[in-house]
Amino acid sequence: DSGVTQTPKHLITATGQRVTLRCSPRSGDLSVYWYQQSLDQGLQFLIQYYNGEERAKGNILERFSAQQFPDLHSELNLSSLELGDSALYFCASSPQGSLGSDTQYFGPGTRLTVL
């Protein structure tokens, strides 16, 4: 158990809908990262927050947004969902977030299925 929690575990929804994925980092970790993993794309970095502020952005679609709250939990919002958004979404956390050597601890993931 990494100490990172994600809810829900599974999510099934229809095209055009909006969903919110939630992540609670390990106690004491200030950075939260979101990754998308699909069969054809592998694990892709979406966005990183550090202590409430956006720190780095990857290939995140404009339909997706995220935020980190004062209690350091984070939410990833996915809107106008398309079939291609079906994937595993992982949240990870790390103590800091400004060092390339900071180990990331991954949550169990949320499996999103868009029908």
Instruction: Kindly list the residues in this chain that would bind another protein in the complex (CB under 8 A).
Output: 2, 4, 31, 33, 35, 42-45, 48, 50, 55-56, 58, 88, 90, 92, 94, 96-109, 111
* Dist CA 27 CA 11 (whole Å): 26
Do the beta carbons of residue 33 and residue 89 sit within 8 Å? no
**Residue 72 is encoded by which pair of tokens?**
């350091």
Select 30 or 80, whichever has its Cβ closest to another protein.
30
Q: Token match 């790390």: residue?
A: 94
Least CB distance from residue 56 to another protein, whole Å?
Answer: 4
Least CB distance from residue 2 to another protein, whole Å?
Answer: 7
**Residue 78 is encoded by which pair of tokens?**
């996915």
What are the two backbone dihedrals, phi and then psi, of residue 95, each rounded to the nearest 5 degrees?
A: -60, -45
Select 16 or 58, whichever has its Cβ closest to another protein.
58
Least CB distance from residue 76 to another protein, whole Å?
Answer: 15
Select 30 or 78, whichever has its Cβ closest to another protein.
30
In sequence order, what are the beta bridge partners of 13? 114
Least CB distance from residue 48 to another protein, whole Å?
Answer: 5
Do the beta carbons of residue 75 and residue 34 sit within 8 Å? no
